[in-house]
Amino acid sequence: LQQRRGLRLSAPAAIQVTVRDALNQALDEELERDERVFLLGEEVAQYDGAYKISRGLWKKYGDKRVIDTPISEMGFAGIAVGAAMVWLRPVCEFMTFNFSMQAIDQVINSAAKTHYMSAGTIPVPIVFRGPNGASAGVAAQHSQCFAAWYGHCPGLKVVSPWSAEDAKGLLKASIRDDNPVVMLESELLYGVPFEMSEQAQSKEFVIPIGKAKIERQGTHVTLVSHSRPVGHCLEAATILSKEGVECEVINMRTIRPMDIETVEASVLKTNHLVTVEGGWPQFGVGAEICARIMEGSAFNYLDAPAVRVTGADVPMPYAKILEDNSIPQVKDIVFAVKKALNI
């Protein structure tokens, strides 16, 4: 009636959703959608998850769909891989990806390689997910980024969300994928609210694995990042904009397969490249991006060498002042951009 009277109807407003709630929503929707999906890991059931990602799911779906496991990553990861080989769709939660080292034989030798070694007859539709990278004050054995580790291995897909929409769309896509997927979340983003569009609130919303997103348009320099440092890049872009430097910020979202085409198209426009990541510099995600640009046609459009901003090449210190100096900060990104632009 309002439309017939010529009145404008406002579009449904986007809502604020934390990354934690977006992940919980994705798990809930996929458990409801497909009875083959189940979640297992330490404290995921009655306790609602160490980070409350699985809050309410055990009460809703019961013991057979949300399963608490002993503290034995090698054991429950192996159970999950075996279940995937007979066409169940397990979501295997590591309390932190540092603990996935206990199960890396299952992730790499069992999950990643089986489809190839079986001549395509045994797919392994499994998701390994949990917090990755630096947290706060948890020192060296709990603050590593495994994006480069798992991104190195053929047979895996590796995703690394930043926003709530990333988290929901990538988790749903990962659960539906017939390949093993490693989903690297950030503990420090779990409680951060992001705007979620009406489209992303749909039960059928997925983000294609292997597709980056341009978070901010720019003309002077391309900033490429994933996970929490994407936010730092946007902050740095705001600061630099006041000085007349317009940064194009690319959120990779997927580490493997890597959407290098989006990065190349941006470099063709800006002629400068800065990569930003929380992991160590040697053999890192930024190193791979720089190598791919070097080997492709976009190299001819660079007006200066690419610059990497990374975590420090040390085990993570415990002391806060040292920790802050071991993780890329906004000021480090601003400095790197000015270095790339020679200003």
Catalytic residues: 73, 142
Pairing state between β 157-159 and 181-185: parallel
How far apart are the C-alpha atoms of 112 and 158, rounded to whole Å? Answer: 11
Pairing of strands 247-251, 221-225: parallel
150-154: long-range contacts at Cβ-Cβ below 8 A with a sequence spacing of 24 or more? 150/107, 150/182, 150/184, 150/255, 150/256, 151/255, 151/256, 151/258, 151/285, 151/288, 152/283, 153/108, 153/112, 153/256, 154/112, 154/116
- DSSP per-residue codes, 73-126: HHHHHHHHHHHHHTT-EEEEE-SSGGGGGGGHIIIIIIIIHHHHHTTTS-----
> What value does the CA radius of gyration of the chain take, rounded to a whole number of Å?
21
Contacts of 42 (CB under 8 A, 6+ apart): 50, 68, 69, 70, 71, 76, 93, 95
Six token digits for residue 223: 């900033």
Q: Is 3 helix (H, G, I), strand (E, B) or coil?
A: coil
d(CA 10, CA 138): 46
Query: Which tokens go with 133?
Result: 């990278």
**Alpha carbons 313 and 223: distance in angstroms, whole number:** 21
List the one residue out of 305, 197, 212, 194 whose CA is nearest residue 251. 212
CB 159 within 8 A of CB 130: no
- Contact in structure between 156 and 288 (CB atoms under 8 Å): no
